[in-house]
């Protein structure tokens, strides 16, 4: 996904013809959509690190406002822990170390001076955080403790990198870390974390399934974890979020204890869960169309764009009206007005590629008869409304856009997650369309591994289902779960 042919700031062009079939040429579509849509610039001189442009950064900030809101509402507190972690601290939990060491960047010097201890650049913050939070917890009265932070983290990815989806600097990683007195409380927290993320993805109209990761593939240092998964237009699965029960493995490595009433010490139980800018990449991929990006009003950097249609003689009147309307709409919406010297067609094209939900067109006719044309990006339909009801008409339209996009995403996802009863049917379908495909499973590890080998598709996780009356696709015994397969980004 390199882009040598790019010719400058996307916001300044207008003559590119977009039109890429998203479902046929998804990788091309993605590259071009995020470039022409002014989300990121992929020409930064380090592989896998990208520049967030103003328009894209605004979308990202709006997405983060939503996760903050969901976290704050459920009693999480925002903090910031340092990015650099001393090697001696980073290396305490051995499973974690095994999982992350290879992809962690390491600072070894300052200027020409060799550091006395190497510093890991956080790939995620468990280690540096737990080393310090230990000092915050003394008795059960200090628990539960529910923290989160939104920070940059770094992973030396060896896989192919793509803007937002797989990167070496995650500019915005939201990681929550919670601390509890009992295993039961931590268990309940997992459910709370899942519910918080459900609300978050529902707000973004991103469809998902939630699977549990088999124990042999669990997050390094964890008891078990759940993943939120979605499917991209090219049929590849993608992890949207991870919700992890850490048990007390880290507590033991970092000596995270609290004092009981009888003066003995007990280890705390922990959970952590994260999402990142990747979810904006998924949002854009699922909602976009062959003409570029399509934003829901929820996180659209601009919700309305006003385009004055100027012709000789009408300029003053039309501009005056357009500015009037802008002043009115700005009280309620994020509004742009396009006054550049450029053809109306080019302007339409650009703002469509940038996915602005509603366009307001104002020309002579509109000034004279008090009507205004609204264009909705999601359905590419025009409607005429009375200028005097404009705010309420746009508000109604935005609700309709959101619910249409939600329904459309649901519809899209219906064909992306499919259940089968045997490997052959599954393979046949998967090889044509990808997606996430499931088989009944008895929960025996050996059966899972054999099914994975027969299918030739990696296991993604499973959903327990004790009452399905189905039979394990391998051994024929009673199925207790559905096991899912797919290839991920």
Least CB distance from residue 136 to its own copies, whole Å? 4
Instruction: Report the residue from 169, 192, 366, 393 that binds its own copies according to the rule CB under 8 A.
Output: 169
Least CB distance from residue 152 to its own copies, whole Å? 6
Residue 221 carries which DSSP code?
T
Contact 244, 269 (CB under 8 A): no
Q: How many CA atoms lie within 13 A of 105 on its CB side?
A: 16
Instruction: Report the residue from 21, 75, 98, 107 that binds its own copies according to the rule CB under 8 A.
Output: 107
Q: How far apart are CA 142 and CA 479, in angstroms?
A: 43
Least CB distance from residue 236 to its own copies, whole Å? 25
For the window 139-168, what string marks contact with its own copies as x by the rule CB under 8 A?
Answer: --xx----x---xx-x-x------------
Instruction: Report the residue from 58, 287, 354, 416 that binds its own copies according to the rule CB under 8 A.
Output: 58
Q: How far apart are CA 420 and CA 1, in angstroms?
A: 34
Q: How far apart are CA 70 and CA 74, in angstroms?
A: 6
Beta bridge partners of 200: none
Cα distances (angstroms) measured from residue 415 to each of 20, 235, 395, 419, 430: 22, 10, 32, 10, 11
Tell me which residue of 174, 178, 184, 193 sits closest to 243, measured CA to CA.
193
Question: Is 241 strand, coil or helix?
Answer: strand
Q: What are phi and psi of 319, to 5 degrees?
A: -65, -40
Pick between residue 26 and residue 50 the one whose CB is nearest to its own copies. Answer: 50
Pick between residue 58 and residue 249 the one whose CB is nearest to its own copies. Answer: 58
Stretch of 51-59, 186-194, 195-203, 328-336 lying at the interface with its own copies (CB under 8 A): 51-59
Stretch of 131-139, 229-237, 286-294, 461-469 lying at the interface with its own copies (CB under 8 A): 131-139
Question: Is 209 strand, coil or helix?
Answer: strand
Question: Is 274 strand, coil or helix?
Answer: strand
Burial environment of residue 24 by CB neighbours within 10 A (0 to 12, 13 to 18, 19 or more): exposed
46 lies in the binding site for its own copies (CB under 8 A) = yes
466 lies in the binding site for its own copies (CB under 8 A) = no
Q: How far apart are CA 27 and CA 25, in angstroms?
A: 6
Least CB distance from residue 184 to its own copies, whole Å? 23
113 lies in the binding site for its own copies (CB under 8 A) = yes
Least CB distance from residue 66 to its own copies, whole Å? 16
Chain centre to alpha carbon of residue 84: 25
2 lies in the binding site for its own copies (CB under 8 A) = no
Pick between residue 42 and residue 225 the one whose CB is nearest to its own copies. Answer: 42
Residues 364-403 that bind its own copies (CB under 8 A): none
132 lies in the binding site for its own copies (CB under 8 A) = yes
Contact 179, 431 (CB under 8 A): no
Burial environment of residue 378 by CB neighbours within 10 A (0 to 12, 13 to 18, 19 or more): buried
Pick between residue 57 and residue 267 the one whose CB is nearest to its own copies. Answer: 57
Instruction: Report the residue from 27, 105, 218, 468 that binds its own copies according to the rule CB under 8 A.
Output: 105
Pick between residue 10 and residue 214 the one whose CB is nearest to its own copies. Answer: 10
For the window 72-91, what string marks contact with its own copies as x by the rule CB under 8 A?
Answer: -----xxxxxxxxxx--x--
131 lies in the binding site for its own copies (CB under 8 A) = yes
44 lies in the binding site for its own copies (CB under 8 A) = yes
Burial environment of residue 399 by CB neighbours within 10 A (0 to 12, 13 to 18, 19 or more): exposed
Q: How far apart are CA 306 and CA 337, in angstroms?
A: 5
The length of the chain, given as a count of residues = 489
Question: Is 98 strand, coil or helix?
Answer: helix
258 lies in the binding site for its own copies (CB under 8 A) = no
330 lies in the binding site for its own copies (CB under 8 A) = no
Q: How far apart are CA 126 and CA 271, in angstroms?
A: 10
Instruction: Report the residue from 92, 101, 449, 471 that binds its own copies according to the rule CB under 8 A.
Output: 101
Stretch of 106-114, 194-202, 302-310, 373-381 lying at the interface with its own copies (CB under 8 A): 106-114
**Residue 51 CB partners (closer than 8 Å, separation 6+):** 40, 41, 43, 44
CB atoms within 10 A of CB 247: 18
Least CB distance from residue 133 to its own copies, whole Å? 9
Least CB distance from residue 129 to its own copies, whole Å? 8
261 lies in the binding site for its own copies (CB under 8 A) = no
Stretch of 46-54, 311-319, 433-441, 470-478 lying at the interface with its own copies (CB under 8 A): 46-54
Q: How many residues bind its own copies (CB under 8 A)?
A: 61
Stretch of 111-119, 182-190, 213-221, 416-424 lying at the interface with its own copies (CB under 8 A): 111-119
Least CB distance from residue 155 to its own copies, whole Å? 9
Q: How far apart are CA 84 and CA 80, in angstroms?
A: 12
Question: Measured at the alpha carbon of residue 99, what is the angle toward residues 166 and 30, in degrees to the nearest 5?
Answer: 10
Interacting residue ranges for its own copies, rule: CB under 8 A: 6, 8-9, 12, 41, 43-46, 49-54, 57-58, 60-61, 77-86, 89, 101-113, 119, 121, 128, 131-132, 135-138, 141-142, 147, 151-152, 154, 156, 169, 171
């Amino acid at each position: 996904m390199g882009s040598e042919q790019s010719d400058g700031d996307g916001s300044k062009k207008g003559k590119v013809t977009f039109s890429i079939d998203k479902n046929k040429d998804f990788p091309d579509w993605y590259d071009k959509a995020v470039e022409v849509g002014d989300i990121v610039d992929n020409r930064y001189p380090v592989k896998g690190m990208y520049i967030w442009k103003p328009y894209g950064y605004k979308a990202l900030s709006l997405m983060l406002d939503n996760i903050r809101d969901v976290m704050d509402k459920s009693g999480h507190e925002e903090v910031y822990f340092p990015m650099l972690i001393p090697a001696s601290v980073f290396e305490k939990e051995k499973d974690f170390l095994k999982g992350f060491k290879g992809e962690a960047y390491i600072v070894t010097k300052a200027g020409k001076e060799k550091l006395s201890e190497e510093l890991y650049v956080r790939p995620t913050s468990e280690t540096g955080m737990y080393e310090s939070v230990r000092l915050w917890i003394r008795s059960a009265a200090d628990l539960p403790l529910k923290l989160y932070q939104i920070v940059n983290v770094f992973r030396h990815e060896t896989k192919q990198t793509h803007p937002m989806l797989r990167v070496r600097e995650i500019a915005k990683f939201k990681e929550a870390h919670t601390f509890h007195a009992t295993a039961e409380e931590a268990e309940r927290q997992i459910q709370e974390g899942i519910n918080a993320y459900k609300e978050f993805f529902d707000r973004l109209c991103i469809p998902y399934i939630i699977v549990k990761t088999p124990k042999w593939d669990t997050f390094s240092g964890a008891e078990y974890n759940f993943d939120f998964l979605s499917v991209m237009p090219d049929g590849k699965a993608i992890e949207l979020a991870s919700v992890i029960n850490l048990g007390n493995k880290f507590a033991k490595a970092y000596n995270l204890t609290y004092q009981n009433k009888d003066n003995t010490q007990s280890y705390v139980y922990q959970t952590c869960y994260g999402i990142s800018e990747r979810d904006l990449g998924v949002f854009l991929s699922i909602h976009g169309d062959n003409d570029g990006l399509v934003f829901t009003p929820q996180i659209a950097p601009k919700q309305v764009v006003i385009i004055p249609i100027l012709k000789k003689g009408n300029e003053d009147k039309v501009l005056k009206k357009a500015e009037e309307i802008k002043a009115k709409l700005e009280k309620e919406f994020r509004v742009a007005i396009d006054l550049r010297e450029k053809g109306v067609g080019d302007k339409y094209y650009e703002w469509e590629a940038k996915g602005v939900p509603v366009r307001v067109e104002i020309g002579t006719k509109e000034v004279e008869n008090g009507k205004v044309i609204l264009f909705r990006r999601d359905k590419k339909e025009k409607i005429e409304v009375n200028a005097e009801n404009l705010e309420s008409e746009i508000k109604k339209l935005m609700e309709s856009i959101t619910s249409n996009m939600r329904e459309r995403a649901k519809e899209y996802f219906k064909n992306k997650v499919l259940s089968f009863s045997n490997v052959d049917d599954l393979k046949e379908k998967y090889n044509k369309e990808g997606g996430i495909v499931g088989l009944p499973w008895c929960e025996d590890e050996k059966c899972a591994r054999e099914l994975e080998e027969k299918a030739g598709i990696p296991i993604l996780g499973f959903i327990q289902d004790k009452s399905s009356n189905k039979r394990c696709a391998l051994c024929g015994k009673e199925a207790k779960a559905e096991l899912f397969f797919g290839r991920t980004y």
